[in-house]
Amino acid sequence: MNNEFNYSVVILGSTSGIVRATAHAYAEAGYALVLAARDDEENKILAADIRVRYGVTCHALHFDGADAASHPKFVTDCEAALGTNPTGLILGFGYMAEQEKAQRDVTEVQAMVDVNLTGAISILERFAAVFEERGSGFMGVLSSVAGERGKQSNYIYGATKAGLTCYLEGLRVRLFKANVTVTTIQPGFVDTKMTYGLPLPGPLVATPEQAGRAIFKAVSKGQDEAYVLFFWRYIMLIIKAIPRWQFKKMSM
């Protein structure tokens, strides 16, 4: 495979459908990979798949987003596995509790905050320090359109993603000076476990492969933000433009 520049990427949360496809897009481009997830059994299967299909180096490392104390060691583990610090990283882990359950049970709220905010910020700060010092790198982070506007159906999850999007905005400004790009990805609907069985209009739903390629492309270009299907930008512009007095009457 073509990897003359020894590019490498750490993929956090590799067991989700979108992230798996993103990892494949990097492998196809010849990157060496570290796949990181909590579920070791699945993660090893995914890493083997990438090695067989693309003939690239692919390590499976244990990673728990919610366990911030383990994050500094994870960064050194990645360096040890790759023999160098990675060129960049993709962060795709997240936790979405059922909205109604989260309304009743604060431990579910805490779990989402621990993973989507505290965990994400913790690991991004560790790698930000490495990339900033080196003066290069890329970060592609999966946030959510749910963080753009609080909807009745998932506003607690949305609040954690809004926080993440806001955090990324600031991180981008800081790392810009160090030649490190930060791409906020809002995938929209992708045909994975999360949307399976939902009555969604087909044309709004991307395949995981489309999502993976779109994410690879947007992050490689160093885009500030990215949607998987281009029209989501316009859908979100419209949704964001709905005045609050009207929005509260809508059953979204």
Give me the residues that bind other proteins (CB under 8 A), please.
15, 17, 39, 41-42, 45-46, 48-49, 52-53, 192-193, 196-197
Does residue 150 come out as left (phi exceeding 0), alpha (psi in the -120 to 50 range) or beta?
Answer: beta
Specify the residue for token string 């490495």.
130
Nearer to other proteins, 69 or 198 (CB): 198
Nearer to other proteins, 50 or 182 (CB): 50
- Closest approach of other proteins to the CB of residue 46, in Å: 7
To the nearest whole angstrom, how small is the minimum distance from the Cβ of residue 208 to other proteins?
9
Q: Which is nearer to other proteins, 193 or 221 (CB)?
A: 193
As measured in angstroms, the least distance from the Cβ of 197 to other proteins is: 4
Q: Which CB, 17 or 188, lies closer to other proteins?
A: 17
Phi-psi region of 120 (alpha: psi -120 to 50; beta: other; left: phi over 0): alpha
Q: How far is the CB of 50 from other proteins (least distance, A)?
A: 9
Question: Quick one: 203 or 243, whose CB is closer to other proteins?
Answer: 203
Instruction: Provide the minimum distance between the beta carbon of 28 and other proteins in the complex, in angstroms, as a whole number.
Output: 11
Helix (H/G/I), strand (E/B), else coil: 35: strand
Q: Residue 252 carries which DSSP code?
A: -
| Nearest-approach distance from CB 40 to other proteins, in angstroms | 12
Q: Return the number of the residue (53 or 221) whose C-beta is nearest other proteins.
A: 53
Which is nearer to other proteins, 17 or 147 (by Cβ)? 17
CB of 152 to other proteins, least distance (A): 21
| DSSP calls for 74-98 | HHHHHHHHHSS--SEEEE-------
Q: Decide if 209 contacts 111 (C-beta within 8 A).
A: no
Query: 90: how many CB neighbours lie within 10 A of its CB?
Result: 30
d(CA 96, CA 195): 12
Beta carbons of 27 and 34 less than 8 angstroms apart: no
Which parts of the chain fold into alpha helices (H)?
17-28, 40-54, 71-82, 99-104, 106-112, 120-134, 155-176, 208-220, 232-241, 244-247
